[in-house]
Amino acid sequence: MRLALSVVFSSLAGYLLGVETVDVKTLILLAFGGYFMVGASNAFNQIIEKDLDALMSRTKNRPIPSGRMSVTTAFIIASIFTVAGVVILYTINKQTAMFGAISIFLYTCVYTPLKTKTPLAVFVGAIPGAIPFMLGWVAATDDFGIEPGTLFALQFFWQFPHFWAIGWFLYDDYKKGGFYMLPTGKQDKGTAVQTIMYTVWTILVSIIPVFGFTGRLELSIVAMLLVLAAGLWMLYYAIRLFRIMTEKAAKQLMLVSVSYITLVQIIYVIDKFIR
């Protein structure tokens, strides 16, 4: 539920950034379409990983491994959600439906199988994970250009410190399921350094709109300073993870990263409407 709501929030933020006049009907369609989209991805993921989920503490109580739901029922739900999500997004425009379908495909058919094979799975998973913010702009404009590309890049780079932090503090649990989530495969300095690097990339992308290079996606000086401050806040915790390398530090970084992306999206939207 929390993941689905965060996806919907990102999509609506992207829509508000791209639209000139807010259409409540489109806003509602986007919310439901995005919700079904992430629901379908999660349902297919849990079907594929049902045996591995049963091995891990964080997932053993999910409906399928716990025996509360059959695979057949889950597949029916996943299929209905897929069709509902794509059809709803198609009523907004074709490009929105296309990106929604790509997101479900990449998450289910590429990211999920790769999780037990290589740490590169996180790179693949970051693509569908970055689509929602961009999807909102495409829903508003029926166009893909530098603006939604920038929104995509921001959420794409952000996912690495976010998911590596999760992979760090859940390392032992992921190991039970055979998942390779950290870039070096270990809780080491190499992983911590890459976490810092991608946090820096996230910060750089987040302030690019202030320079006027991103078309209609603009940012005022004040908003840029607020976004930069939020980025430095996350960077502090990424550096802290490098320094003390504990699971507690990784969990703190994860929590800060969630607050960061939410704050940035709110700042972007507020800045647009008060500028």
What's the rounded mean pLDDT across residues 169-175?
Answer: 89
Instruction: Please tell me which residue, 176 or 231, carries the higher pLDDT value.
Output: 231
For residue 137, give the CATH number of its domain: 1.10.357.140
- Are 184 and 262 within one domain? yes
State which of 117, 142, 167 marks the end of a domain.
142
What pLDDT sits at residue 121?
A: 87
Domain that holds residue 7: 1-142
- Are 156 and 260 within one domain? yes
- Are 130 and 155 within one domain? no
- Are 12 and 134 within one domain? yes
pLDDT band at 162 (very low <50, low <70, confident <90, very high): very high
If you average pLDDT over every residue of the chain, what do you get? 92
88: closest CA among 24, 34, 129, 12?
34
- Are 123 and 208 within one domain? no
User: What is the rounded distance in angstroms from the CA atom of residue 274 to the CA atom of residue 143?
Assistant: 24
3-class DSSP state of 142: coil
What pLDDT sits at residue 270?
A: 95
- Are 167 and 240 within one domain? yes
- Are 87 and 124 within one domain? yes
3-class DSSP state of 230: helix
Indicate the burial class of 267 (C-beta count within 10 angstroms; 0-12, 13-18, 19 or more).
buried
Check pLDDT > 90 for residue 202: yes
Count of the separate structural domains present in the chain: 2
C-alpha dihedral over 131, 28, 210, 201, to 10 degrees? Answer: -30
State which of 118, 142, 166 marks the end of a domain.
142
State which of 142, 177, 194 marks the end of a domain.
142
Instruction: Please tell me which residue, 208 or 7, carries the higher pLDDT value.
Output: 208
What's the rounded mean pLDDT across residues 37-53?
Answer: 91
- Are 130 and 223 within one domain? no
| 57 to 109, 163, 186: CA distances (angstroms) | 24, 18, 20
- Are 6 and 86 within one domain? yes
Q: For residues 122 and 160, is the Cβ–Cβ distance under 8 A?
A: yes
- Are 23 and 125 within one domain? yes
DSSP 3: H
- Are 172 and 272 within one domain? yes
What's the rounded mean pLDDT across residues 113-128?
Answer: 88
Residue labelled with tokens 């964080």: 58
DSSP for 60-104, please give it.
Answer: TTSTTTTTSS-HHHHHHHHHHHHHHHHHHHHHH-HHHHHHHHHHH
Check pLDDT > 90 for residue 4: no
- Are 194 and 216 within one domain? yes
The number of angstroms, rounded, from the C-alpha of 28 to the middle of its chain's C-alpha atoms is: 20
What pLDDT sits at residue 174?
A: 87
